[in-house]
Chains A and B, each alone.
Chain A
Amino acid sequence: MKVAIIGGGIVGLATAYNLAKEGFDVIVFEKKYLLYGASGRNSGGITAMLNDERLIDLAKKSMKIYDDVQSEIGFNFLFRKDGYIKVASNEDDLKKLKDELNLQRKLGVRVKQIDANEIKDFIPDFNVDAIVGGIYGEGGVIFPWPVIWGYAKGCRELGVDVRDYTTVEEIVVKNNTVEGVKANGEFFKADFVVNAAGAWSNEISKMAGIELNNKIIKEEICVTESLKPYLDPYLLDVTTGVYLSQSMRGEIVGGIVGSEVEAIDIKSSLDFLVKYAKRAVELIPKLKGLCILRQWAGVYDEGKEIPNISTTNIRGFIQANGFGKFGMCLAPAAALEVVKLIKKH
């Protein structure tokens, strides 16, 4: 069985890796370079502290899979599990955090409520006046780049043809069944075509004649110069959407949760830097002397269902997209669901 996967991000590569293990003949098409899309532009926050049963289940499984896959492939993902903190700046948001905490606990996630003062146990320089409370639980920071390189290496070692700078121009469909894809002018026969194109999934879906209408979300991030280990947990302020953490390279990586855009746009803005700087300095005043080295933006897609793993009216055309901001948290386990779906058909 031949499978063509469109998109060389975490979803496409994790799916390719698991399909290859099951004996499928797999080819992955990436229009740009690996890491061009959201898988190379995110901040690597990993947690199972989510607010939906399916998402929590996938996130829990994914954390375990990251551990296993690193050893299997022999590639260090630099996954630092020093916890994940969500804080709220008003009582309404704190109530929502308490509600999600109850669900998380019911599903076996290790998480607890903390007051502003207790956050100082994890972040000594935290400004307790900036928030009203929060929750702390298992999770941490992964470095997205080695995750992608590692999966790509694992794929290639299993015989997957991972092609970068290769544009899929056409999905060839006959009698409502996929026959393959045309990429860089060449035809590739396939029994299944998987749409794992992230923010570009709507366009890819159209090639198969299917309206997908995933929302496109743009998010901006910046990094500071490097420090020695200073900030252990990943910190997300749910009220303002500002998050920050320290990478294994020592940089403070931070951003603001994205918002919907009409069309794909990866331009950086000064407005973002100003908003981010104001809140980051409120949360941890000591950061104020740190310099921003660079900023960037990225886009991801959010499905009506997160994630969207489904068959379509075109036989053999599979959707594996719409992960929202949770791609890195969910993809390793979600990829197994894609494999299951393909094996069933």
Chain B
Amino acid sequence: MKDRKIVCRCEDLTEEDIIHAIEEGYDDLESLKRYTGATTGPCQGKGCLMHIIRILCAKTGKSPDEVGVTTQRQPVNPVPLYLLAEGEEE
């Protein structure tokens, strides 16, 4: 157990899970994100994105610039529906 390196706490992903997905052919960041679920949990990538990029660079030999980052989607932090429902419509 102590060898398990958790890289994404929201989706419970280990470094091995990420490597496995890359080896399955999901070797660009956007596909890797969707196949593993990394960056799509409650933290929206704040905790895991850098790990995912690091592993992807190491496995593919690409630079972080070549790997890029995932699309950053609103909202920055989770917002409850009741607050949004109070908003004014355009």
Contact = CB atoms under 8 A, between A and B. Distances in A.
Nearest to B77: A291
Contact of A225 (B42, B73, B75): B42
A279 B81 CA distance: 10
B65 to A, nearest CB: 16
Interface string A127-148: 0000000000000000001000
Contact of B85 (A33, A34, A271, A278): A278
Contacts of B84: 273-274, 276-278, 292
A182 to B, nearest CB: 23
A1 interface: no
Given A292-B79, A293-B42, A35 B87 contact: no
B81 A280 contact: yes
A275 B30 CA distance: 29
Given A268-B74, A294-B75, A164 B90 contact: no
A165 interface: yes
A288 B85 contact: yes
A110 to B, nearest CB: 33
B35 A149 contact: yes
A294 B44 contact: yes
A292 B78 contact: yes
Given A164-B28, A249-B37, A274 B85 contact: yes
Interface residues of A, number: 34
B74 A288 contact: no
Contacts of A278: 84-85, 89
A275 B90 CA distance: 9
Give the interface size bracket for B toward A.
20 to 34
A230 interface: no
Nearest to B71: A296
B33 to A, nearest CB: 10
A270 B31 CA distance: 27
B90 to A, nearest CB: 5
B62 interface: no
B28 A290 contact: no
A161 B27 CA distance: 17
A292 B75 contact: yes
A281 interface: yes
Contact of A281 (B34, B82, B88): B82
Contacts of A34: 31
Interface in B12-36: 28, 30-31, 34-35
A270 B78 contact: no
Q: Please provide the 9 A-B residue pairs with the shortest distance between their CB atoms, ordered closest to farther.
A: A291-B78, A277-B84, A274-B87, A288-B82, A294-B73, A277-B85, A277-B81, A271-B90, A33-B30
11 contacts: A33-B31, A36-B30, A270-B74, A274-B89, A277-B87, A280-B81, A288-B80, A289-B82, A293-B41, A293-B44, A294-B73
Interface of A: 32-36, 40, 145, 149, 164-165, 224-225, 249, 268, 270-271, 273-278, 280-281, 287-296
Given A274-B89, A292-B75, A292-B84, 16 more contacts: A33-B30, A36-B30, A149-B35, A164-B31, A249-B37, A268-B73, A270-B74, A270-B87, A274-B87, A277-B81, A278-B89, A290-B81, A292-B78, A293-B41, A294-B40, A294-B44
